[in-house]
Amino acid sequence: MSLMKKYILLFLVVLLLGCKAENKDRITKLRGNVFGTTYNIIYNDDVNYQESIDSVFTKFNNSLSTYITNSIVSRVNKNDTTVVVDEYFIEAFNKAKKIYTETDGYFDPTIGKLINAYGFGSGTEKKGLSSEDVTSLMNLTGFDKITLEHKKLNKAPELEFNVNAFAKGFGLDIVGRFLEVKKINDYLIEIGGEIRARGTKLNGKLWKVAIDDPNSDGTRSTSRVIELDNESMATSGNYRKFKINTKGEKIVHTVNPKTGLAQESNLLSVSVILKGDCADVDAYATAFLAMGLEKTKTFLSNHPELKVILLFADENGEIKEFRN
**Residue 1 belongs to a domain:** no
pLDDT of residue 15: 39
| Dihedral sign, Cα of residue 167, residue 168, residue 173, residue 175 | positive
Q: The domain containing residue 180 runs over which residues?
A: 10-323
Contact predicate 251/201, CB 8 Å: no
pLDDT of residue 223: 79
pLDDT of residue 240: 62
pLDDT of residue 22: 36
How, if at all, do strands 307-313 and 267-274 pair? antiparallel
pLDDT of residue 238: 74
Q: Please give the DSSP secondary-structure letter assigned to residue 156.
A: -
pLDDT of residue 213: 83
pLDDT of residue 239: 63
**Residue 4 belongs to a domain:** no
**Residue 295 belongs to a domain:** yes
Taking only the tens of pLDDT, the chain with its 324 residues reads 434 333 333 344 443 333 333 335 689 999 999 998 999 999 999 999 999 999 999 999 999 999 999 999 999 999 999 999 999 999 999 999 999 999 999 999 999 999 988 888 777 888 888 999 999 999 999 999 999 999 999 999 999 999 999 999 999 999 999 999 999 999 999 999 999 999 999 999 999 999 888 776 667 777 789 999 999 999 988 766 666 666 666 667 789 999 999 888 889 999 999 999 999 999 999 999 999 999 999 999 999 999 999 999 999 989 899 999
CATH (domain of 148): 3.10.520.10
Of 63, 16, 56, nearest to 39 by C-alpha is 56
**Residue 19 belongs to a domain:** yes
Phi, psi of 98 (to 5 degrees): -60, -50
pLDDT of residue 246: 64
**Residue 151 belongs to a domain:** yes
**Residue 101 belongs to a domain:** yes
**Residue 63 belongs to a domain:** yes
pTM of the prediction?
Answer: 0.88
SS3 203: coil
pLDDT of residue 262: 87
pLDDT of residue 4: 38
**Residue 64 belongs to a domain:** yes
Report how many domains make up the chain: 1
pLDDT of residue 243: 61
